[in-house]
């Protein structure tokens, strides 16, 4: 069985981390396969939303520590440059929404891959751990970029230094994730978000994502100019024309992602 599964249905690319016996921890093969599957979803027009989750009890325990041998910094550098950084860059640049459905514990790289996704939801049984400090590493996978922006510098610093386990409920409360769901509703509710997004104006989402990405380092003037430029592009999509027509005709719009 492959360590990464991809199933495309109802315009959603369902990607599943699939090494349950290792809490879906990443080895090299799995990290490279995830990059491939993200690329496949990016390139296929039929995929209008990506849904990322894990098999079994955990979402992802980060790097498979059994695979990290020796303490040669060059090896570590390679892991980030070849495994994780390309995953984070893909998730942020894919012009489609990426929903992360955190089914269980998300630790280390697993936690930070989750929080870089566009919409993060969790099972009530899930938890988030910045596990890096416990093994003498620093948070990676863009965690030092996204976490302080999501929950503030103070809390991010404490979680990263102390390595506390954050429950799904607390993660929602502090703004680390969008929502958590009771276990019995998690699958239905989380897939429903992805299926809903897949029926919405995909081009506008791509432009929204671009604007949000750039907002991380722009000032207001730059952001207003960017919104002007991107809104012009959105207004030239057929989904915009359909959205306005449907509103005026008092009917439900049929968006094609074009």
Contact residues for ligand LHQ, defined by CB under 6 A: 22-23, 25, 61-66, 68, 76, 79-80, 105, 107-109, 129, 131-132, 135, 137, 140
CB of 248 to ligand LHQ, least distance (A): 51
Greatest pairwise CA separation for the chain in angstroms: 66
Q: Give the neighbor-by-neighbor strand order of the sheet with 127-129.
A: 58-60, 105-107, 127-129, 165-167
Closest separation in Å from C-beta 86 to ligand LHQ: 13
Which CB, 9 or 28, lies closer to ligand LHQ? Answer: 28
Which positions ≥6 away from 48 have C-beta within 8 Å?
A: 11, 12, 96, 197, 198, 199, 202, 257
CB of 167 to ligand LHQ, least distance (A): 13
Residue 114 C-beta-side C-alpha neighbours within 13 Å: 35
Pick between residue 5 and residue 68 the one whose CB is nearest to ligand LHQ: 68
CB of 11 to ligand LHQ, least distance (A): 32
Residue 38 or 131: the one with the smaller Cβ distance to ligand LHQ is: 131
End-to-end CA distance of the chain: 36
Least CB distance to ligand LHQ at residue 247 (A)? 46
Give me the residues paired with residue 51 across strands. Answer: 14, 99
Which residue number, 143 or 243, has a Cβ lying nearer to ligand LHQ? 143
Q: Which is nearer to ligand LHQ, 37 or 83 (CB)?
A: 83
Cβ atoms 255, 202 nearer than 8 A: yes
Residue 175, SS3 per DSSP: coil
């Amino acid at each position: 069985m492959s360590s990464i599964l991809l199933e495309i249905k109802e315009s959603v690319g369902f990607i599943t981390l699939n090494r349950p016996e290792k809490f879906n921890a990443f080895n090299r093969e799995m990290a490279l396969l995830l990059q491939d599957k993200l690329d496949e979803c990016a390139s296929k027009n039929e995929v209008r939303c990506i849904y990322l989750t894990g098999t079994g009890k955990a979402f992802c325990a980060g790097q498979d520590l059994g695979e990290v041998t020796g303490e040669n910094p060059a090896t570590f550098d390679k892991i980030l440059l070849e495994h994780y950084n390309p995953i984070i860059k893909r998730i942020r640049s894919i012009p489609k929404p990426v929903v992360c459905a955190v089914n269980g514990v998300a630790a280390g790289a697993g936690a930070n891959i989750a929080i870089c996704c566009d919409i993060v939801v969790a099972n009530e049984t899930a938890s988030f751990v910045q596990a890096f400090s416990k093994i003498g590493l620093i948070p990676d996978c863009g965690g030092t970029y996204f976490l302080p922006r999501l929950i503030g510098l103070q809390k991010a610093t404490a979680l990263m230094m102390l390595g506390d386990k954050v429950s799904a409920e607390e993660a929602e409360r502090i703004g680390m994730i969008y929502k958590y769901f009771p276990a019995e509703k998690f699958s239905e509710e989380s897939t429903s978000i992805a299926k809903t997004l897949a029926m919405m104006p995909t081009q506008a989402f791509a432009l929204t994502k671009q604007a949000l990405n750039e907002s991380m380092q722009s000032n207001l003037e730059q952001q207003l100019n960017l919104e002007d430029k991107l809104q012009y592009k959105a207004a030239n999509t057929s989904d915009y024309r359909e959205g306005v027509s449907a509103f005026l005709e008092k009917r439900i719009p049929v968006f094609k992602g074009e």
